[in-house]
């Protein structure tokens, strides 16, 4: 891969491979279990104890059968009773485990549902500043992958942990109780097994996480490539894309090989350690049988218990790994849940009453990054029903004024009032319900055209939807669509033209019927006929409302009641078209430039 290729895409890794064990996080996660503890936990614990005890009792029954029913002159009836007892124990164990797994899965799924619900509902409330800092991919990963990685912990992990502890303690107790010397000799292998299991697993898990992060990168790249496929093909960059993809693919392949090799080394090491345990048992056990300290039946039972050791130790090792991943995942999830919105609601915030639409900006200042002012001391007075056009060079601060009006950000100085109410003193939802916004990059959700218009007012009737569409001149093109209002618009409205999307968003805004309307005018790729339609639609939309328009079209600028000219965050000129033309300042220059451009292309 050449250097240029490597530098083109920079994907930030959001991964922390693991975290120290942290009781604070465990407690916080535990709170999600609390609502279900009374309902289902007693059932699970009972089933768990029944399952563990029946399992532990079985080898003792085998030992009893060997020592009493199988010896010379033994009772054949006793053998049948023992086998019957074993069968019964197996059935009870199977039933207890089946119910336990079913209930645990139910709780696990409920907990995951609650966690995902909390996370998503909180993320929806966060302000633009939060989204500015994070790529959409990293937010998605937290809602999907990180929450999923807790799923195992909640569905199996917690209960298995308890069960394994009960089983392990039970086995150790039985071994030491029936023969302390042999028991102690076998138990020596436990710490070795545990050590191997945890240490090696940590390495294995890390290597799989590397594989996962490589796959995430591939996904991110694929996502970007598919979104940008038109640009890639237009600039004939397929080869360059391919070589970058190959590089990532190869790196993923190598990391998979490494993880897989490590994984395969796990079982042989474990088997060798297990074999050592069996050797100790049979060598030492044989001596104890000769000295009549233990019976053959007990030796067989001990051998079975060694086999049982493995399961819980192995799972506890796995659980330890799982816990460390859960620590990292939950930390990431709670980091989002703890994130305070940058536009905090005042403690005694009140609902903004229905407003007329008088707006005052007093000495408004704003900086996205400390020390870089995007707006400097803006003073502006708008009467209800006036239309304001915001003009200025790119980066002059037009969108920033709009962002502050909607409280997507809070101003860093000065104040904004609507009908005398400071917008920081009212609830965000009551403010936004009276401010409608139509963005240049109109967002069309997947669903039907009707659903998209209804997004402005969810309880609107079909008649209201059609009325709004007719008012903004969208009705005609909608009824021409294959299924009219019920036409599916496909991903992000792919089947609609720019102008059609714009008209749908006008209908959506009209249906919401806000007192204050903000419009980021679309400029590109609209033919004259659609342009005329949009102008007509605009008249309907703006009638009787206070409106702010980031204006690009000469026609809109000319008709505005007040034109605000911004330059590097400073309000330089204001007035109507004729006033500003007379001044021959920045506005005059902008208009002249536009006329020259239109003349040249025309």
Ligand X SMILES: Nc1ncnc2c1ncn2[C@@H]1O[C@H](COP(=O)(O)OP(=O)(O)OP(=O)(O)O)[C@@H](O)[C@H]1O
- Residue 598 CB burial class (10 angstroms; 0-12, 13-18, ≥19): exposed
Residues 6+ apart with CB under 8 A from 568: 376, 395, 396, 397
Cα separation, 95 vs 167, in Å, equals 17
Residue 92 DSSP one-character state:
H
Single out the residue of 368, 415, 561, 575 in contact with ligand X (rule: CB under 6 A).
368
Single out the residue of 139, 204, 374, 571 in contact with ligand X (rule: CB under 6 A).
374
Q: How far is the CB of 564 from ligand X (least distance, A)?
A: 11
Of 59-67, 250-258, 366-374, 500-508, the segment contacting ligand X by CB under 6 A is 366-374
The answer to whether 556 contacts ligand X (rule: CB under 6 A) is no
In the complex with ligand X, which residue's Cβ is closer, 292 or 394?
A: 394
Report residue 182 as tokens: 């042999």
In the complex with ligand X, which residue's Cβ is closer, 374 or 498?
A: 374
In the complex with ligand X, which residue's Cβ is closer, 12 or 148?
A: 12
In the complex with ligand X, which residue's Cβ is closer, 299 or 566?
A: 566
CB contact at 8 A, 314 and 161: no
CB contact at 8 A, 563 and 576: yes
Of 206-214, 300-308, 354-362, 390-398, the segment contacting ligand X by CB under 6 A is 390-398
The answer to whether 399 contacts ligand X (rule: CB under 6 A) is yes
In the complex with ligand X, which residue's Cβ is closer, 201 or 398?
A: 398
In the complex with ligand X, which residue's Cβ is closer, 24 or 395?
A: 395
In the complex with ligand X, which residue's Cβ is closer, 404 or 510?
A: 404
In the complex with ligand X, which residue's Cβ is closer, 318 or 396?
A: 396
| Count of residues interacting with ligand X (CB under 6 A) | 12
Residue 485 DSSP one-character state:
G
- Closest Cα partner for 346 from 413, 423, 401? 423
Report residue 561 as tokens: 């009641």
The answer to whether 338 contacts ligand X (rule: CB under 6 A) is no
In the complex with ligand X, which residue's Cβ is closer, 191 or 395?
A: 395
The answer to whether 398 contacts ligand X (rule: CB under 6 A) is yes
Single out the residue of 235, 395, 486, 523 in contact with ligand X (rule: CB under 6 A).
395
Single out the residue of 93, 321, 400, 434 in contact with ligand X (rule: CB under 6 A).
400
Single out the residue of 108, 297, 392, 514 in contact with ligand X (rule: CB under 6 A).
392
CB contact at 8 A, 564 and 577: no
Report residue 586 as tokens: 């920045």
In the complex with ligand X, which residue's Cβ is closer, 110 or 393?
A: 393
Of 114-122, 208-216, 368-376, 594-602, the segment contacting ligand X by CB under 6 A is 368-376
In the complex with ligand X, which residue's Cβ is closer, 323 or 564?
A: 564
Single out the residue of 3, 72, 369, 578 in contact with ligand X (rule: CB under 6 A).
369
Q: How far is the CB of 313 from ligand X (least distance, A)?
A: 52
Cα separation, 264 vs 153, in Å, equals 24
Q: How far is the CB of 370 from ligand X (least distance, A)?
A: 11
Report residue 559 as tokens: 């008709």
In the complex with ligand X, which residue's Cβ is closer, 157 or 569?
A: 569
Site string for ligand X, 129-168 (x = CB under 6 A): ---x------------------------------------
Site string for ligand X, 235-264 (x = CB under 6 A): ------------------------------
3 state SS of 445: coil
In the complex with ligand X, which residue's Cβ is closer, 132 or 491?
A: 132
Q: How far is the CB of 552 from ligand X (least distance, A)?
A: 9
Residues 6+ apart with CB under 8 A from 147: 112, 115, 116, 119, 329, 333
Strand pairing of 516-520 and 359-369? unpaired
Q: How far is the CB of 400 from ligand X (least distance, A)?
A: 3
What is the C-alpha radius of gyration for the chain, rounded to an integer number of angstroms? 35
Residue 144 DSSP one-character state:
I
Q: How far is the CB of 401 from ligand X (least distance, A)?
A: 7
Report residue 477 as tokens: 């093109």
Q: How far is the CB of 523 from ligand X (least distance, A)?
A: 10
Q: How far is the CB of 436 from ligand X (least distance, A)?
A: 19
Report residue 594 as tokens: 């536009």
The answer to whether 351 contacts ligand X (rule: CB under 6 A) is no
Single out the residue of 51, 317, 397, 436 in contact with ligand X (rule: CB under 6 A).
397
CB contact at 8 A, 405 and 359: yes
- Residue 362 CB burial class (10 angstroms; 0-12, 13-18, ≥19): middle
Strand partners, 448: 488
Ramachandran quadrant class, 513 (left: phi over 0; alpha: psi -120 to 50; beta: rest) = left
Ramachandran quadrant class, 74 (left: phi over 0; alpha: psi -120 to 50; beta: rest) = beta
In the complex with ligand X, which residue's Cβ is closer, 314 or 400?
A: 400
Strand partners, 78: none
Report residue 538 as tokens: 């605009």
Place of tokens 């991903």: 491
Of 66-74, 209-217, 343-351, 398-406, the segment contacting ligand X by CB under 6 A is 398-406
Single out the residue of 396, 442, 500, 546 in contact with ligand X (rule: CB under 6 A).
396
Residue 350 DSSP one-character state:
B
Find the binding residues for ligand X in span 462-501 (CB under 6 A). Answer: none
CA-CA-CA-CA torsion for 595, 596, 597, 600, nearest 10 degrees? 120
Contacts to ligand X by CB under 6 A: 132, 368-369, 374, 392, 394-400
């Amino acid at each position: 891969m050449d250097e240029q290729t490597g530098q083109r895409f920079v994907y930030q890794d959001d991964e922390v491979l693991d975290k120290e064990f942290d009781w604070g996080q465990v407690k916080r996660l535990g709170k999600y279990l609390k609502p279900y503890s009374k309902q289902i936990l007693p059932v699970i614990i009972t089933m768990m104890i029944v399952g563990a005890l029946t399992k532990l009792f079985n080898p003792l029954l085998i030992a009893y059968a060997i020592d009493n029913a199988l010896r010379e002159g033994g009772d054949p009836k006793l053998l049948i009773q023992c086998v019957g007892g074993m069968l019964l124990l197996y059935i009870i164990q199977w039933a207890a485990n089946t119910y336990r797994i079913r209930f645990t899965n139910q709780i696990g799924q409920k907990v995951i549902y609650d966690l995902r619900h909390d996370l998503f509902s909180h993320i929806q409330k966060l302000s633009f500043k939060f989204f500015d800092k994070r790529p959409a991919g990293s937010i998605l990963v937290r809602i999907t992958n990180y929450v999923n990685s807790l799923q195992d912990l909640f569905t199996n992990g917690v209960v298995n942990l308890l069960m394994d502890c009960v089983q392990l303690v039970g086995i150790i107790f039985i071994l030491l109780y029936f023969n302390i010397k042999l028991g102690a000799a076998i138990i020596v292998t436990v710490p070795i097994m545990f050590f191997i299991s945890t240490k090696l697993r940590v390495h294995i898990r890390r290597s799989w996480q590397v594989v996962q992060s490589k796959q995430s990168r591939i996904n991110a790249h694929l996502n970007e490539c598919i979104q940008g496929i038109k640009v890639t093909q237009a600039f004939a960059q397929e080869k360059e894309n391919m070589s970058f993809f190959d590089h990532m693919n190869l790196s993923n392949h190598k990391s998979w090989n490494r993880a897989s090799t490590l994984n395969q080394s796990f079982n042989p090491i474990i088997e060798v350690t297990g074999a050592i345990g069996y050797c100790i048992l049979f060598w030492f056990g044989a001596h104890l049988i000769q000295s009549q300290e233990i019976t053959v039946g007990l030796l067989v039972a001990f051998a079975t218990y060694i086999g049982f050791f493995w399961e819980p130790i192995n799972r506890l090792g796995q659980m330890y790994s799982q816990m460390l991943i859960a620590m990292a995942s939950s930390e990431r999830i709670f980091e989002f849940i703890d994130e305070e919105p940058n536009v905090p609601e005042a403690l005694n915030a009140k609902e903004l009453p229905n407003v007329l639409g008088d707006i005052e900006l007093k000495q408004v200042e704003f900086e996205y990054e400390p020390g870089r002012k995007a707006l400097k001391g803006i003073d502006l007075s708008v009467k209800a029903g006036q239309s304001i056009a915001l003009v200025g060079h790119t980066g002059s601060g037009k969108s920033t004024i709009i962002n502050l009006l909607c409280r997507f950000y809070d101003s860093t100085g000065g104040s904004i009032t609507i009908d005398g109410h400071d917008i920081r003193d009212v609830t965000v939802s009551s403010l936004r319900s009276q401010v409608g916004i139509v963005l240049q990059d109109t967002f069309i959700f997947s669903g039907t055209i009707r659903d998209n218009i209804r997004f402005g007012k969810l309880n609107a009737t079909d008649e209201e939807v059609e009325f709004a569409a007719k008012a903004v001149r969208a009705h005609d093109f909608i009824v021409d669509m294959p299924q009219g209002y019920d036409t599916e618009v496909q991903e992000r409205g792919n089947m609609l033209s720019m102008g059609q999307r714009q008209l749908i968003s006008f209908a959506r805004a009209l249906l919401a019927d806000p007192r204050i309307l903000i419009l980021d005018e679309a400029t590109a790729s609209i033919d004259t006929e659609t342009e005329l339609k949009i102008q007509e639609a605009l008249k309907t939309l703006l009638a009787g409302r206070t409106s702010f328009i980031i204006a690009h079209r000469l026609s809109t600028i000319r008709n505005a009641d007040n034109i605000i000219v911004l330059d590097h965050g400073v309000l330089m000129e204001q007035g109507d078209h004729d006033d500003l033309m007379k001044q021959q300042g920045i506005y005059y220059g902008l208009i002249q430039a536009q006329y020259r451009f239109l003349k040249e292309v025309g």
